[in-house]
Structure 1
């Protein structure tokens, strides 16, 4: 077995393709959606500065069968986020442990105090991570799926979308936010951190128009289509609630539901359910090849779970956000 640093710009074309294939398949298995391999390769080649990455092979000259990626967490200084995937035929041969050891060593040398990662609850990945010294579960998450190819789901969403709360009007866009709405949309996005556990997964930021444009560029860097459904307060003309989804560059078959937020003064009026129903209808109409939408929700976020259930979301699997101190992992591996 060999484990080596992986530098996309210096990798052979076959190795880059194999690395992206293992990463994309592993990401789909753990999150329900995947990054298209070609788009992932383009992103890695353009990344500056690059994240730390490794590639593992069963033997010298073999194809890449295990991958790892370590990124710093800007919202939590001293914390790194690790993604580690092994192709199914190569599992239980020590590849995961070897990749983890390299990542822990690199994190220790970089002065990183803690590593975080997400794993499927109850699966082999959880069993593997439980062997890491000092591991603790930070959040229990639920991967949910909304099947747009089942007739009753769009019908239910159309029914809920028709129940428009008074004093609000819908606004929808694909791509960048309209200039006159960008600032108020940004203020809404700043309240994503109000959700239970959100502060453990993202950093506070100033959501001015420039930040909105930078975020939009990040969300579409791989060719994804960005879709937003929002509620505008009729009296003020400002966005007070919004929900965000992305459609793969290929057009489907699975879209990702991201953040949903409502300004504090406009909560408990059904806005989240209304705009998410609107979003599902638009996805179904504009991208008929999209058969499902996936979303990951903190199990403690009971209001959002209730909203999703009303819109036809059903649980697929549990995921755990786990964390371990680097020093303990370095000593125990």
Structure 2
């Protein structure tokens, strides 16, 4: 079938990206599918999402939409290196379409879920959460000497904003396998824009972060297997208030953070966004400590929340091991595909 592909005027423009959109329609005008292409303001790699009605698949509609997006990306300014698809479930029609279209499979993600309704959580006197949170006997996750936790909802508090910007580089080396990846440049307005976008969806952004206290670390405290950074999902709230028991302020440099998004009514499943530990602070158990604490606080804050979702690159074995130790169970696997437009500046990524 030859569909009519119409480029739409999309007002979805932000400081960091703009979105192009196309609608595929039959000769009689009824819609067949759609495509969206998010182009980063700084260039790099655009994100693509294509939907075709199940009854209209295998008729070339998706291919026409893909070609429209590729043609637009090829002349975009600034120049793009490629187009990266949204995750498609392994073995799904989307997976088969991407492979048949000649796109390059670049990343495998394992999706996991922590069921909170069957979880037994407790905080000890150091505000550490119980480990093995979903299965088996609890194993204490102790506070790490030389560091402290802080928590907030929505926008980052003003006194933590600059150190949070500096900590964002913890995500720069997240495992992306063969996908072309250019780390975003963070500043305070970008942090605020992310929080505001979550709030506009009537969702709540929860952040737990680690600050230094200046105390010396010992070798006995190091647990190298427990730390790494992750692509814990997501692309990604108002006042930026510190949560109970983990006050903002008090000095110290932020060295790790983990983000979680929950529906405004506190039901359903929460979605993990990014988790990162700065390279020079890995190997001390910070990732597991702050994630365990965040899980416990989230369950107490949202008693009707059913579970927590995470997606992690298969190659990120350290983060997968941490999530498994906290009780997350695999649900399915998804794949990312890429169309290359120009040679990558870093062929290894």
Query: Aligning the two structures, in what range does the TM-score lie when normalised by the shorter sequence?
Result: 0.7 to 0.9
**Equivalent-residue separation in structure 2 for 1:103 and 1:89 (angstroms):** 22
In the other structure, the counterpart of 2:220 is none
In the other structure, the counterpart of 2:8 is 6
In the other structure, the counterpart of 1:116 is 84
**Equivalent-residue separation in structure 1 for 2:68 and 2:108 (angstroms):** 27
**Equivalent-residue separation in structure 1 for 2:191 and 2:288 (angstroms):** 23
Question: Which whole-Å deviations, capped at 9, do the CAs of 1:84-143 have from their partners, x for residues lacking one?
Answer: 12233443343322322322233334465532213222222111111224x322222222
In the alignment, is the contact (CA less than 8 A) between 1:54 and 1:99 conserved in 2? yes
Q: Name whichever of 118-127 and 207-216 sits farther off.
A: 207-216
Residue in structure 2 matching 1:301, options 310, 316, 324:
316
Residue in structure 2 matching 1:83, options 45, 49, 58:
49
Residue in structure 2 matching 1:128, options 80, 97, 111:
97
**Equivalent-residue separation in structure 2 for 1:246 and 1:273 (angstroms):** 18
**Equivalent-residue separation in structure 2 for 1:58 and 1:232 (angstroms):** 57
In the other structure, the counterpart of 1:321 is 336
Q: What are the residue-to-residue correspondences of 1:25-64 with 2, within 5 Å?
A: 44=12, 50-58=18-26, 60-62=28-30, 64=31
Q: Say which structure is richer in helix.
A: 1
Instruction: Give the secondary-structure state (helix, strand or coil) at the position aligned to 2:312.
Output: strand
Instruction: Give the secondary-structure state (helix, strand or coil) at the position aligned to 1:51.
Output: strand
**What is the alpha-carbon root mean square deviation over aligned residues?**
3.0
Instruction: Give the secondary-structure state (helix, strand or coil) at the position aligned to 1:232.
Output: strand
In the other structure, the counterpart of 1:98 is 64
**Equivalent-residue separation in structure 2 for 1:202 and 1:264 (angstroms):** 18
**Equivalent-residue separation in structure 1 for 2:165 and 2:204 (angstroms):** 19
In the alignment, is the contact (CA less than 8 A) between 2:104 and 2:338 conserved in 1? yes
Instruction: Give the secondary-structure state (helix, strand or coil) at the position aligned to 1:290.
Output: coil
State TM-score, norm by structure 2.
0.71
Residues 1:295 and 1:75: Cα distance change in structure 2 (over 3 Å): farther
Residue in structure 2 matching 1:255, options 255, 260, 270:
270
Q: What are the residue-to-residue correspondences of 1:208-223 with 2, within 5 Å?
A: 208-223=187-202
**Equivalent-residue separation in structure 2 for 1:91 and 1:226 (angstroms):** 37
Instruction: Give the secondary-structure state (helix, strand or coil) at the position aligned to 2:101.
Output: coil
**Equivalent-residue separation in structure 1 for 2:43 and 2:330 (angstroms):** 29
Question: Which whole-Å deviations, capped at 9, do the CAs of 1:162-197 have from their partners, x for residues lacking one?
Answer: 522223222111112222222222222221113222
Give the number of equivalent residue pairs. Answer: 288
Residues 1:95 and 1:182: Cα distance change in structure 2 (over 3 Å): same
In the alignment, is the contact (CA less than 8 A) between 1:114 and 1:325 conserved in 2? yes
Question: Which whole-Å deviations, capped at 9, do the CAs of 1:189-246 have from their partners, x for residues lacking one?
Answer: 22111322288445242x4544433443344443321101122222363322210111
Residue in structure 2 matching 1:70, options 25, 37, 54:
37
In the alignment, is the contact (CA less than 8 A) between 1:161 and 1:277 conserved in 2? no
**Equivalent-residue separation in structure 2 for 1:200 and 1:55 (angstroms):** 27
Residue in structure 1 matching 2:175, options 182, 196, 199:
196
**Equivalent-residue separation in structure 1 for 2:339 and 2:252 (angstroms):** 46
**Equivalent-residue separation in structure 1 for 2:300 and 2:9 (angstroms):** 41
**Equivalent-residue separation in structure 1 for 2:5 and 2:140 (angstroms):** 52
Q: What are the residue-to-residue correspondences of 1:146-161 with 2, within 5 Å?
A: 146-152=114-120, 156-157=132-133, 159=138
In the alignment, is the contact (CA less than 8 A) between 1:161 and 1:274 conserved in 2? no
In the alignment, is the contact (CA less than 8 A) between 2:213 and 2:252 conserved in 1? yes
**Equivalent-residue separation in structure 1 for 2:327 and 2:141 (angstroms):** 16
Q: Name whichever of 212-221 and 79-88 sits farther off.
A: 212-221
How far apart are residue 152 of structure 1 and its match?
Answer: 4.9
In the other structure, the counterpart of 2:207 is 228
